[in-house]
Amino acid sequence: MDWQKNCVVYQIYPKSFCDSNGDGIGDIPGIITKLDYLKNLGVDVLWISPIYESPGFDNGYDISDYKAIDPIFGTMDDFLRLLKEAHERGIKVLLDLVVNHTSNEHEWFKQSRTSKDNPYRDYYIWKDGRGDKPPNNWTDFFGGGSCWEYDAATNQYYLHLFSPWQPDLNWENRKLRDEIYDMMDFWLSRGVDGFRMDVISYISKPLDFPDVKEGGSVSFLVANGARVHEYLREMRKRVLDKYDTITVGEAAGVTIEEAKKYANLDGHELNMVFHFEVNDLDGGENYKWNNKKIALPDLKRVYSRWQKGLWQVAWNSLYLSNHDQPRSVSRFGNDCDLYRERSQKLLATCTYLMQGTPFIYQGEELGATANRFESSDQLRDIESINALANLREKGIPQSEALDIISKRGRDSARTPMQWNDEKGAGFTTGTPWIMINENYKKINAKEQIDREDSVYNYYKKLIAFRKFNQIFTQGEYIPVFEARNDVFAYLRRDENQTVMVIGNYTENAVSVNLADEKIKAECCLLGNIEGSKFLQNGILEPYESNVIRLG
């Protein structure tokens, strides 16, 4: 079995993980001090969000030098030490590859904007306007207005799908592609084990740059462009195939049919992708800025479609959240005192025991919750700041707007790791770059590690359980109780055995008759409630989950 399929990945958002020098910003030496914590949890791979040199308009997703470490995070020596210390513990390290765009402070862009015949001009996407209007009607993904920024020096516009500080690269240019493969080689030859590829589904643009239709989305126009698979195959041949890597593509706008190409088991492109169909479930009229709750039947439908759709053709990734998405317990579970821990355990169980490679986002293993932002000066993320202005413009009162942003914005998942109950939460001795969730006295790693029935210790058990039961990597996925809107349940089956994973996603006790699905239970292998009576009385307590061996 390939290790890429059997491993568990842990995502570190470095700015918020651990600060070693008291400047309020998490850093690489800080990560090194936590490697034993991660080893103890049982994870095999770290994905570290960008640590390259960057002016930081989008927290490192705007890179000005791909081959340098940003001084806020440390030095190249610090990074090489992290790599060495991680490898010594049997932990692999994956970097974030952000190659849809660079920072506007990247040397290539500085050159590119100087003149139309500069050799770097064609590294980016420049167009004439339509009269005094931008080349088309696309608006950026951060709610900041047009995707085109006018540049007076050459009287043209450049494309930026994200902020104006993130000009899009032109992948049609072969020299640009060569530079990117060379840069990947730079990191892989230093021992990096692979990449998470930022918005990789967007790199091949439609060359006629058509207007987006009323009600349509730019995302679907730019996703899965004509040459994206050609580029990824080229990347695989030119660089990835020289190493034993793990690759995951962030793939907004990718359908199951497309995922079968990106993440095909034939290994010509990537190991897997992050699809967005779960994230889109609570989207709506106002994009994601609403109070919608995800309905369980919708969630089940998406999960089952992807499980069955990729079966024996391609490979799934399994994630609940990341640095762009709301905290999972607040979004899919119940973050009240009574059910927070139990529902986080349920979510991990039901998500990570499907087929695919599990990804844990920092803090999930503690049951970290959404943060409440009370004033605009507490916001840090460019998208949240734009959203506040846009919501206010629509007439939504400040406190309501802040409430929506707290629930759905990206800052909420970016508050610092809560390591202990001391001032600064063990994250920093200084002033943190973003506020610390005030619940750190109650929710923190120290308390979690010391208590046997904590979320952390459950995650640890679950990771080990998954790893030593190959059925979860290889077994078939068969949904059961499909019509129920309170329970998510499925079987995993291989030639030797069948197990059932079942979870009650509601705050009420529910009764489940296994005979309805002709299921004969043998014993409970793992549960989130000590002394569960489920196998005796058929009652699932609120947010209860169980893994059961069938006879």
Site for ligand ISL in 367-396 (CB under 6 A): 383
Integer-rounded Cα Rg, in Å, for the chain is 23
What beta strand segments (E) does 200-343 contain?
246-250, 272-274, 317-319
385 binds, among ligand ISL, Ca ion, none (CB under 5 to 8 A by kind): none
With CB under 5 to 8 Å by kind, the binding choice for 98 among Ca ion, ligand ISL, none is: ligand ISL
SS (H, E, C) 6-27: HCCEEEECHHHCCCCCCCCCCC
8 Å CB contact between 166 and 102: yes
**Which CB sits closer to Ca ion, 25 or 83?**
25
Give the residue with the Cβ less far from ligand ISL, 72 or 480: 72
Count of beta carbons in the 10 Å neighbourhood of residue 271? 23
From the CB of residue 214, how many other CB atoms can be counted at a distance below 10 Å? 6
CA distance 549 to 353: 13
User: Mask: binding to ligand ISL, 504-523, rule CB under 6 A, as x and -?
Assistant: --------------------
Q: Residue 25 binds which entry of ligand ISL, Ca ion, none, with Cβ cut-offs from 5 to 8 Å by kind?
A: Ca ion
Please identify, using beta-carbon distances, which residue of 21 and 431 lies nearer to Ca ion: 21
SS3 303: helix
- How distant is the alpha carbon of residue 419 from its chain centre? 22
Q: Which of 23, 105, 280, 324 binds ligand ISL (CB under 6 A)?
A: 324
Which partner from the list Ca ion, ligand ISL, none does 199 bind, CB cut-off 5 to 8 Å by kind? ligand ISL
CB-based contacts of 379, cutoff 8 Å, min separation 6: 373, 385, 388, 405, 409, 411
- Residue identified by tokens 């990729």 is 310
502 bridge partner residues? 489, 546
Residue positions annotated with a catalytic role: 198, 250
**Whole-number Å distance between alpha carbons of 200 and 210:** 20
Name the minimum Å distance from CB 259 to ligand ISL.
16
Decide: residue 88, CB within 10 A, 0-12 exposed, 13-18 middle, 19+ buried: exposed
Give me the numbers of helices (H) and strands (E) for the chain, helices first please. 18, 20
Q: What, of Ca ion, ligand ISL, none, does residue 23 touch, CB below 5 to 8 Å by kind?
A: Ca ion
Q: How far is the CB of 140 from ligand ISL (least distance, A)?
A: 10
Q: Smallest gap, in angstroms, from Cβ of residue 252 to ligand ISL?
A: 5
Q: Using the rule CB under 6 A, which residue among 13, 79, 148, 162 binds ligand ISL?
A: 162
Q: Report residue 292 as tokens.
A: 């919608």
The answer to whether 401 and 384 have CB atoms below 8 angstroms apart is no
- Rounded to the nearest whole angstrom, what is the least distance from the CB of residue 485 to ligand ISL in the complex? 28
Cβ-based nearer residue to ligand ISL, 382 or 463: 382
Choose among ligand ISL, Ca ion, none what residue 168 binds, the Cβ cut-off being 5 to 8 Å by kind: none
Q: In the complex with ligand ISL, which residue's Cβ is closer, 317 or 439?
A: 317
Task: State the binding string over 120-149 for ligand ISL (x if CB under 6 A, else -).
Answer: ---------------------x--------
365 binds ligand ISL (CB under 6 A): no
* β-bridge mates for residue 11, sequence order: 47, 361
Which residues of the shown chain bind Ca ion in the complex (CB under 5 A)?
19, 21, 23, 25, 27
- Minimum distance of ligand ISL from residue 465's CB (angstroms): 30
Closer Cβ to Ca ion, 398 or 431, answer by number: 431
The count of chain residues that interact with ligand ISL, using the rule CB under 6 A, is 14
| Residue number with CB closer to ligand ISL (300 or 323) | 323
CB 180 within 8 A of CB 102: no
Pattern 55-84, ligand ISL, x by CB under 6 A: ---x--x-----------------------
Mind spelling out the 3-state secondary structure of 67-105? EEECCCCCCHHHHHHHHHHHHHCCCEEEEEECCCECCCC
Closer CB to ligand ISL, residue 253 or residue 424?
253
Give CA–CA dist 161/138, Å, rounded: 8
- Which residues within the stretch 180-219 sit at the binding site for ligand ISL (CB under 6 A)? 198-199
Residues that bind ligand ISL (CB under 6 A): 58, 61, 98, 141, 162, 198-199, 250, 252, 288, 323-324, 383, 410
